[in-house]
Structure 1
Amino acid sequence: MKRRETSLFWRLVLRVALVLCGGATLLSAAAWYYARAAADDAYDRLLLGAAIQITANMTVDAGNLGVTLPSSAFELLGLAERDRIFYRVVGPDGRTLTGYDDLEIGINVTAARAGPVFLTTEYRNVPVRVAVVSRALSDPSFSGWAYVVMAQTTEARRGLAGELTTRAMILVGIMSLLALAGTVLAIRYSLLPVDALAATLRARDPQDLTPVEADMPRELKPFVGSINHFMGRLDERVTLLQRFIADAAHQIRTPLTALSAQVDMLEDDDLDVNRKRHLGRVRDRVSQLARLTNQLLSHAMVIHRSDSVRFKPVDLGDIARKAFRSTVPITVDPDVVVSFEDSAEPVFVRGDAVSLREAIANIIDNALQHGVEQRLAVRVRREDDRALVEVADDGPGIPPAEWAAVTTRFVSSKTGEGSMGLGFAIAAEVALAHRGTVRFLEKGGRDFTVILDVPLYREGT
């Protein structure tokens, strides 16, 4: 099961969104608390104003306490259309002068002597807000404390608190969305250096193992430092690998060459037929071993150079000529006609001269070993924006059904003839590294042709 990739951008956005949601929840709770307090304060002032107006209309006449209920007091409370109003006026002797005699609030009204008292309770099974105010009466014939108890249901104040809370939550929601959008833009902008670092690494040449020099934020410096440390270690390993390949090529080829020379020096004139046959087999095996070793070392060198050598413009015609001279032996059968035809004008490609020479040499060697009967021709030419090296021979060729397979390592159409299946594989890998290909032309009435096809070098490419 493929593991789902995580995004640093979306992880940051999610965490910021969670923080904003938490903050919005706290702000909504605070808005509800303050909205309720504001609604209570507004309606408590109306309740207190009505109670004070009633106390102001208390009179003492001939030793009797009287009260006139002002209409203005109830008009103020009537602004809350959904609420009901209850009141009670209590004289100094504790008797109800007017109002609802059963309006008991569960506290001692004498507490109102120090100042107005507010509380929330229930009356007739509905929640009410109660205000208690007092008035000291002083008259030669009558003295004491009178109290006014005003109660109002809480529907209006709850509605006002809900409306204030809703408006506050809408404002908090809008501000949170704006904050989240701003955070997304800020995070995207803050992560641009990461994209810039990725672009810098992608643009580097595969052979460039020098430290990355880029203007990065302080938080990315450890990451860049780790990359530079890794590339330094990789450069050391590449250098050691180059040294090993060079040493291996020298140390292995030298004894094989000496062994081949020693076998060739063996005299077979005095040997019987059976021993001559065995000596011939030894010579064949030594020759195959030398060729396989050279091809394996060539293959290792080509793979290594494709990852470590910086490409530059080179003349493909000059490279093909050197490969032709080094591959076609001086002792080639005099009955075999070999020819080399260069392009009329230089054919420049962008690549590695050593790898290209090895590729062409392996194609020519395959033709000499398994194809040539009487004719071998090597041609270098241009075709549109492509550079072509053609190796043609008059041998039987390779059936089209096997063309795709023979460019794979250790696959050969000439297995019975001692072929190791590396020549075309080396050429194909070199062509691929140079954005080209190795292709074949079906044998017609004359020759079978193998073509190394790579793009021409253009200024600025």
Structure 2
Amino acid sequence: MKTRDPSLFTRLAVTIALVLAVGAAGLTSLAWYSARTAADEAYDRLLVGAVLQIAEALTVQNGEVTVDLPISAFEMLALSDRDRIFYRLTGPKGELLTGYPDLPVPASGGERRDRPVVSDGVFRDVPVRIASVGRSFAGADVQGWAQVVVAQTREARFSLARDLTLNATGLVLIMSGIAFGGVIFALRYSLKPLTRIETALTLRDPQDLTPLSLETPREIRALVGSINHFMSRLGERMELMQRFIADAAHQIRTPLTALSGQVDLLAHEADAIRQRRHLERVQARTKQLGRLANQLLSHAMVVHRKESVPFERIDLAKVARLALRNTLPVSLNPDIVTSFEAPPGPLLIHGDRVSLREAISNILDNAVQHGAVARLGIVLSRQGTSARLEVHDDGPGIPRSQWALVTQRFAKDPSGRRSGGLGLAIASEVAATHQGQLSFLERDEKGFIVALSFPLADPEEDP
């Protein structure tokens, strides 16, 4: 079952939504990290303040270190009713003054002992934040360092970090929603030109292949240009097809009608001499109809190959020799002498060998049908940067006044009579496609000449 492809709008919307979702997730993670850092900094200041206050309360009485725990220090830490407080005070000799004896002491890392040190730890299976500071005694009775250690559980820190993260996440989600809404509006607005193009093509008459004329953004002009170029080519193809159908209908109808009439006369004729005369006319009409059909098919093939078949390096002499061999056995009078002259070595040009063979075959067939009496020949030569092919015949030739007419499809002379069929028109079209030229030379001692000229291929180019 064929699935329906998502629209461009859906693709863009989903892609942008994914980008926003990834960005929101990243910002939420960053907000959580920042909130934890901020919560630690805030509560660490309270913890360090409490440690310093307790350290200041250490005194020496009767040769011993004593302490009167300041209530204000614990009041600062008691601002969070969720946390528990643990402390440990030791004297210069390591003796426990008060507090929890198993409370861990954070490592000082080699720093001065009178500077507070704060680190994470675990006490009684509970994560805590531990701060410690030392106080020096250098009296006569007491000498050394006393140490104050205070720990606080992390519930309040976590709660603060969570609240800050939720607030930041809410802002991120609101901004992401606003951004996504703006993007959807921008996409709808930006895709309107495509909708106008779709509407214009949908409402257009199927026979209307004129270029689209719509005001579009710069980025879509290339698309409109491609559509117009495609419609132009399609119009040319349709015109060629319609022209072929019109030519076939118009040109074949008359021979068919005449042939049908001759067959009817032949069927009802009892006289043998008249039957033979009608049979000869039927044969002539059949030959004319076959030649016309071949020319129409040949022209259709040449037109099709003009834009669909890439050119290649070919030897014009080989193509001409093949055209001579394929054409003459069909229509040549056995009394006509043929000749073929070509320079030594290949005569290389860029082209389509099938179209060139058809062009040469049509020139030869035209010479046999309307020109050659006893002599017909092909002469190939190099003339500067061109390859030249000449077809000679000893017939009367084509009057100069009709040279322009005979290269047109089924052209008629000023008197209204048809001056030619499709043979020379095909040859002229093939020559133009190959950047060449079809020309005529007036009759001289060589006879009448029809010539094709093509640019030579670069001899240094790889074959």
Query: 1:265: Cα distance to partner?
Result: 5.0
Query: 1:109: Cα distance to partner?
Result: 9.0
1:189 aligned residue: 189
> Larger deviation: 9-18 or 209-218?
209-218
Once residues 216 and 43 of structure 1 are traced to their aligned partners in structure 2, the CA distance between those partners, rounded to angstroms, is: 61
8 Å CA contact 2:114, 2:136 repeated in 1: no
2:27 aligned residue: 27
Query: 1:99: Cα distance to partner?
Result: 1.5
SS at structure 1 position matched to 2:212: coil
8 Å CA contact 2:106, 2:119 repeated in 1: no
Once residues 267 and 181 of structure 1 are traced to their aligned partners in structure 2, the CA distance between those partners, rounded to angstroms, is: 85
2:172 aligned residue: 172
Once residues 166 and 120 of structure 1 are traced to their aligned partners in structure 2, the CA distance between those partners, rounded to angstroms, is: 24
SS at structure 1 position matched to 2:129: strand
**How far does the alpha carbon of each residue in 1:231-284 deviate from its partner, in whole angstroms, 9 at most, with x for none?**
11111112212221221122221113323443565695869xxxxxxxxxxxxx
Once residues 129 and 197 of structure 2 are traced to their aligned partners in structure 1, the CA distance between those partners, rounded to angstroms, is: 67
SS at structure 1 position matched to 2:113: helix
8 Å CA contact 2:85, 2:153 repeated in 1: yes
Q: State TM-score, norm by structure 1.
A: 0.55
Matched, 1:153 2:153: yes
1:108-257 map, 5 Å: 111=111, 113=113, 115-257=115-257
> Larger deviation: 159-168 or 256-265?
256-265
1:85 aligned residue: 85
2:40 aligned residue: 40
Q: 1:114 to 1:49 in 2, by over 3 A?
A: closer
8 Å CA contact 2:114, 2:135 repeated in 1: no
Gaps of 5+ in 2: 272-463
8 Å CA contact 1:105, 1:121 repeated in 2: no
Q: 1:237 to 1:110 in 2, by over 3 A?
A: closer
1:403 aligned residue: none
Query: 1:58: Cα distance to partner?
Result: 1.7
2:95 aligned residue: 95
Once residues 247 and 156 of structure 1 are traced to their aligned partners in structure 2, the CA distance between those partners, rounded to angstroms, is: 95
Once residues 18 and 268 of structure 2 are traced to their aligned partners in structure 1, the CA distance between those partners, rounded to angstroms, is: 91
2:18 aligned residue: 18
Once residues 242 and 109 of structure 1 are traced to their aligned partners in structure 2, the CA distance between those partners, rounded to angstroms, is: 95
Gaps of 5+ in 1: 272-461
**Percent identity between the two aligned chains:** 55
Query: 1:3: Cα distance to partner?
Result: 2.9
Once residues 97 and 172 of structure 1 are traced to their aligned partners in structure 2, the CA distance between those partners, rounded to angstroms, is: 51
**How far does the alpha carbon of each residue in 1:389-422 deviate from its partner, in whole angstroms, 9 at most, with x for none?**
xxxxxxxxxxxxxxxxxxxxxxxxxxxxxxxxxx
Query: 1:201: Cα distance to partner?
Result: 2.3
Q: 1:264 to 1:155 in 2, by over 3 A?
A: closer
Matched, 1:63 2:63: yes
Q: Which amino acid aligns with 1:13?
A: A
**How far does the alpha carbon of each residue in 1:119-146 deviate from its partner, in whole angstroms, 9 at most, with x for none?**
1111122111100112233435433322
Matched, 1:76 2:62: no
Once residues 4 and 21 of structure 1 are traced to their aligned partners in structure 2, the CA distance between those partners, rounded to angstroms, is: 26
1:310 aligned residue: none
**How far does the alpha carbon of each residue in 1:258-317 deviate from its partner, in whole angstroms, 9 at most, with x for none?**
23443565695869xxxxxxxxxxxxxxxxxxxxxxxxxxxxxxxxxxxxxxxxxxxxxx
Query: 1:74: Cα distance to partner?
Result: 1.0
Q: State TM-score, norm by structure 2.
A: 0.55
Once residues 114 and 226 of structure 1 are traced to their aligned partners in structure 2, the CA distance between those partners, rounded to angstroms, is: 80
Once residues 89 and 110 of structure 1 are traced to their aligned partners in structure 2, the CA distance between those partners, rounded to angstroms, is: 20
Once residues 88 and 41 of structure 1 are traced to their aligned partners in structure 2, the CA distance between those partners, rounded to angstroms, is: 22
Query: 1:216: Cα distance to partner?
Result: 2.1
Query: 1:16: Cα distance to partner?
Result: 0.6
8 Å CA contact 1:135, 1:146 repeated in 2: yes
SS at structure 2 position matched to 1:50: helix
Q: 1:259 to 1:140 in 2, by over 3 A?
A: same
**How far does the alpha carbon of each residue in 1:311-330 deviate from its partner, in whole angstroms, 9 at most, with x for none?**
xxxxxxxxxxxxxxxxxxxx
SS at structure 2 position matched to 1:113: coil
Query: 1:51: Cα distance to partner?
Result: 1.0
Q: Which amino acid aligns with 1:17?
A: A
Q: How many residues are aligned here?
A: 276
SS at structure 2 position matched to 1:199: helix
SS at structure 2 position matched to 1:102: coil
1:405 aligned residue: none
- Superposition RMSD on alpha carbons, in Å? 2.9
Q: 1:121 to 1:249 in 2, by over 3 A?
A: same
Once residues 50 and 178 of structure 1 are traced to their aligned partners in structure 2, the CA distance between those partners, rounded to angstroms, is: 46
Q: 1:241 to 1:225 in 2, by over 3 A?
A: same
Q: Which amino acid aligns with 2:122?
A: E
Query: 1:85: Cα distance to partner?
Result: 0.8
Once residues 267 and 166 of structure 1 are traced to their aligned partners in structure 2, the CA distance between those partners, rounded to angstroms, is: 104
1:345 aligned residue: none
Q: 1:17 to 1:270 in 2, by over 3 A?
A: closer
Query: 1:166: Cα distance to partner?
Result: 1.9
